[in-house]
Structure 1
Amino acid sequence: MFILAIFTAYLTDMVDHSINTQPMTTKRKCTEIQEIKKRFRHTTNGYTTKTTENGIISKKGKYTSPKKANRLYHLMGQRVLHVWEGYRKECPNNPVFVFVLPNNGTSLSLEDLPKSYHENECVFRHEYEVNKEACTITSSPKSRKILIGRKERIELKNTVEQNINQLLKDHANIEMIGVSSVRSKNYGPQDTKLIRETCIVLYVHVKGVIPIGEEEFPRRIGNFPIDVREGKFIPYGRVPGANEYHQRLLTGCQIVRQTAKSFGTIGGFLDLPGGGIGVLTCAHVVLTDKECEQFINCRPEQQTDLRKSVPWRTLQICQPDHYNDFGTVKDFVLYPGSSSDVGIDAAVVKINNEARLPVSGEFPWDEKQITGYGPDNPMEFLSGNCIEIKPELEGCEVVKFGAATGITRGLLAHRSLFVKRSHVPNLAFKDVMYNQMEIQPLQGFDGFAQKGDSGSLVLMAHKGNRTKLVAVGMVVGGTTFNTTVVTPILNILKEFNLPNMCLKTFRHCPWPKETSSLAELKKEQNKQGKEIKQLKQNIQEYRKDHKKQAQQQRKESQKIISLIKGLKRDNARNRQDDQKH
């Protein structure tokens, strides 16, 4: 009876904390439990709390599923994305549980958890919820005015490359790694101070909580101090939206996969080696999240069995909605990179509909006059030239056109940013990106890019001339502190083995008006035909006039020649008469 009473109390406790009370088949229930267990195993750091004689937590014993976590199975996947255990520096023996919630309005409190968690500290954070420290620093006038010198930037880059792998191995909660010209001290509502000091910035989701089995971050790396801030990477390209239909595709147009709800942006056009024209965009725009997880660390030359088994070459890509397809996915790259290599998230879509091939280097219309572009000065990318970002270019102004935000301007902050794309604090799927560029928005702009701008081409004025733009990178996402993550364009083109290493070029010509129907298109063709006929008539008339003028000139020249001959004869006769006399 005693055992039966304990079993009944356990079942009652499980029912009280259950979320989904709808009936479920045995097969479905088993499948969900297995999926939740599998997901939970990936969300743990793999270490248990072990206290030594000195009271210090060590990372000796690994575990798979702690007893306290068993009762969280019914929460995982519905109200909790991920949970991990840590401790605070001040109290190393008191565990802290961090619950990561989805960004769908879901809330969770201590009362929703089993009673065994009530005696411990629990932190509840949404997936992209962070404090405002990083945003305050990047938007402050002091950080914008202070720039890092060229030699110091090179030393920073080398220091990060040499230590990044060890940092990621020792600290699973690192979300991004960047650099900054200022460091914050005593962050709070009143006492925050910005110190002029070049530093390496480590971004985490929850500041102050150290994962179990790990030590706190080092104070310095090489000659540079460490500044810890809260920040997350946000993929741009997962929000449904709408844009105008373009008969001829333009750079910056909205594109969408036929079987998905998310959209992205055309980041330029390519002359494909085998013939035809391709569209450049992000891989996560044309692939689903599950497909991205399968193809992580997959490059074009690595034709694995998994890559061959999925018919990704038949994926239809549309513009601007699901009813206007124009091509299929030709190839893609999902490569995290390394400390000395650039991470790539890119795809090429081949245009199969000849009626939608691009004919102009212009961008769609944008009404924002603050950007400096307008009817008299349209934004266009004609040369197709791409340049490498060197240290002396950091701090220069860049511009982009995205399907979600249109034309925006920003400043190139630095070019050695590390980001973690997944919310899980480990590298199980290698869902990271090394050596990315960071763009800060100029004053007057809410941000340089937002969700839906993935794939946007980032351009820079050539020698200060804003009418002559060159490509420097492609937007892949952003951060919680309002900066944008960009991949260098030359590294993307190199991964696809393009021979000329540049985008498609266009000659400067007026762009014809968009036609919404076949009748309007025929009218436009008739007008062009009449203009051509008129030009031919003008040419014929010009030729006739030219012939008449040529004949008159010949007659006049003959008269002049005959007069000259007559004068010569008269002169000869006069000489002869003078000699006789």
Structure 2
Amino acid sequence: MSFLCSGNKKIAKRLVKLRHFPTQRILDEICLLFGRKSNVTLFICNAICAHIKTKDEHIIDVWAAYTLKRTNSITFVVSLQEEEKTGKKEKAESIPLHKMINYSFIKRRVGEYSYEGTEIINHNAPDEYIDADAYCKLQDCVAKYSVELMKEHRYLSLVSVCSKRSTGYGSTSWELKLGNCIVLYVHTKHYIPINEEPFKPHYDGIPVDVREGAFIPFGRTAVEFLEHVQMGCQICGDNNAKGTLGCFIDHPQYGVCGLTCAHVLLSPWELDWVKTVKSGTSIWPLHSFSKKVYQPTKQDSSIGHAVQLIHKEGSGNNSGMDLALFKLTSRHPKSPDFPNASGVMPAGKINYEHWQICSMDRLNLRTERVVKFGAKTEFRNGVIEFDRLSVKHLNCSLQNEYTTITLHKQIEVRPQILSVAFAEPGDSGALVFLGGENDSEHTCIGIIEGGTTNGTVVVTPIVAILDELKVSSLKSFEAENTISEIHGRIENVGNEVQTVRSEVQNVSTKINTMGSSISGMQEGQQAISSDIQHLKQMVIAISTSPNTQQSTDSPNI
């Protein structure tokens, strides 16, 4: 090709438009001659990626990469649609990519990663946890570099820590070595995008271990219609995505509100728009969004509408967040209880009487037991793994250039029982609590944002959330319960008074009846007395009559 001598990008564009793509050998020569990050190399590789994507409907992402062993040889990473969305695993697996693609390539299915990270998590033992001083150094290192790393590396999804390093995974020489390290989870291990530099082997003297894995926002499935909504119940947005109503807040401006994750109510482009608004906060009615919230599904009546939508990445020292605050307009809560669990509740179930909020200092207690109730998985127990986690959702549908969810300074929680997930899709927005000595005094540490492909769960600290919302606490039902109790007592007294009134009325009626009887008797007595008096008068009249007198003086015969 003539532009190999001149490096003329215009000639390259003309050839690409005519679909005259270089062969693998010439492409590698271009990379060697002009550099893998040169405009010419990037332009040609991007054109080849776009061309490969047109080969089959199951191909949703293609990107050019190199390896540390072959820095000037380009390989294309081809991502196929995840099985859950196609339902046609056999068809997708049988796509003859080797006949369609005349370049070096590696095939990956979206959502499928090696089990290296999961196996290492499962290998952790209590006596292998990181000591306090080393843990603080790891925290500082992640806080210092995570934001920069996320920006510089497109397919980096998680920045965490571990007490073990992995070497030779996938071979017979795989070995886990004790030693604290920074763990970087990527889309495809060993393959580096051609416009990026490789990770450093150390950051501030702490070694790096690269593994495959990703952050996944949780939003899907759950439960029943509730006459009065409760924390932990399933909610749904206009986009029909499902999540969990985390908690209630008495907001000074909006009144009683519910809290969940913004990605439960918003589409990707809406979420991206919120990030561009001043301070990453959309406030109703100043902005155009008026998102309704339903429980449990969109087929049911609305329970409220969003009043604040927040999407901030955060930094090494400030927690990122993805929040939706919605004003409740119907089916208001009456208690702090969670819905009835459909299955067996584990030890450490949440049955609190008073809200407590976990301070940032308390979050330094790694390996603390935690518990949560989510719409999908209900009650589950977990253990805090790390409290400076950085995550980025890898949206492989790159034909839609939406900015993915990126969150810094998050809490990472692993399952207490490795075979039982701490949370699953549908649990986004659920509250997570530290397990206290008294089950009635659980302390809230944050809300669930999503999970990782290694089985851990991502939690946004509640202290940062309350600071952002400018409220000091979550809604307390204690005063309302007291008032309800007083109302109940008043109602009981009222019932008793009514009963007394009824009894008095009955007695009064009886007295009136008796009075009527007595009055009748008195009238009878008066009639008798009158008759007697009349008889007396008659007797007197007869006794004084002349005829009576004459008769008396006559002789006896």
Which runs of structure 2 are paired with 1:314-463 in the superposition (5 Å)? 315-322=291-298, 323-353=300-330, 356-369=331-344, 371-372=346-347, 379-390=350-361, 392-423=364-395, 429=403, 431-443=405-417, 446-462=420-436
Q: In the alignment, what sits opposite 1:127? A: 110
Aligned CA distance change for structure 1 residues 169 and 291 (closer, same or farther; 3 Å): closer
CA apart distance, 1:423? 2.7
The one-letter code of the counterpart of 2:347 is: G
| Mapped contact 2:36–2:72 kept (Cα < 8 A) | no
TM-score, normalised relative to structure 2? 0.74
Q: In the alignment, what sits opposite 2:54? A: 74
Segments of 5+ residues of structure 1 without an aligned counterpart are 1-36, 38-46, 512-526, 541-581
| Mapped contact 2:181–2:209 kept (Cα < 8 A) | yes
Q: In the alignment, what sits opposite 1:489? A: 462
The one-letter code of the counterpart of 2:475 is: K
The one-letter code of the counterpart of 1:366 is: A
Aligned CA distance change for structure 1 residues 205 and 536 (closer, same or farther; 3 Å): farther
Which runs of structure 2 are paired with 1:50-61 in the superposition (5 Å)? 51-52=31-32, 58-61=36-39
* Alignment: residue pair count: 459
Q: Which of these residues, 94, 119, 122, is aligned with residue 139 of structure 1?
A: 122
CA apart distance, 1:381? 3.8
Aligned CA distance change for structure 1 residues 182 and 349 (closer, same or farther; 3 Å): same
1-side partners of 2:113 and 2:197: how far apart?
22
1-side partners of 2:151 and 2:254: how far apart?
44
The one-letter code of the counterpart of 2:474 is: L
Q: Which of these residues, 158, 163, 168, is aligned with residue 150 of structure 2?
A: 168
CA apart distance, 1:330? 1.0
CA apart distance, 1:383? 2.1
The one-letter code of the counterpart of 1:387 is: C
CA apart distance, 1:254? 0.5
| Mapped contact 1:207–1:228 kept (Cα < 8 A) | yes
DSSP-derived class of the 2:163 partner: strand
- Percent of aligned pairs with the same amino acid: 28
1-side partners of 2:447 and 2:303: how far apart?
22
DSSP-derived class of the 1:295 partner: helix
**1:5-36 deviations in Å (ceiling 9; x for gaps):** xxxxxxxxxxxxxxxxxxxxxxxxxxxxxxxx
Q: In the alignment, what sits opposite 2:208? A: 226
CA apart distance, 1:169? 4.7
Q: Which of these residues, 285, 289, 292, is aligned with residue 268 of structure 2?
A: 289
Q: In the alignment, what sits opposite 2:540? A: none
| Mapped contact 2:281–2:309 kept (Cα < 8 A) | no
Q: In the alignment, what sits opposite 1:266? A: 245
Aligned alpha-carbon RMSD (Å): 3.3
| Mapped contact 1:49–1:59 kept (Cα < 8 A) | no
The one-letter code of the counterpart of 2:306 is: V
1-side partners of 2:402 and 2:312: how far apart?
14
Segments of 5+ residues of structure 2 without an aligned counterpart are 1-16, 18-26, 483-487, 502-557
| Mapped contact 1:472–1:489 kept (Cα < 8 A) | yes
The one-letter code of the counterpart of 1:503 is: L
Q: Which has the larger radius of gyration?
A: 2
TM-score, normalised relative to structure 1? 0.72
1-side partners of 2:269 and 2:280: how far apart?
21
Aligned CA distance change for structure 1 residues 482 and 536 (closer, same or farther; 3 Å): farther
Q: Does 1:471 align with 2:444?
A: yes
Aligned CA distance change for structure 1 residues 245 and 49 (closer, same or farther; 3 Å): farther
The one-letter code of the counterpart of 1:61 is: N
Q: Does 1:208 align with 2:181?
A: no
Aligned CA distance change for structure 1 residues 481 and 73 (closer, same or farther; 3 Å): closer
Q: Does 1:250 align with 2:233?
A: no
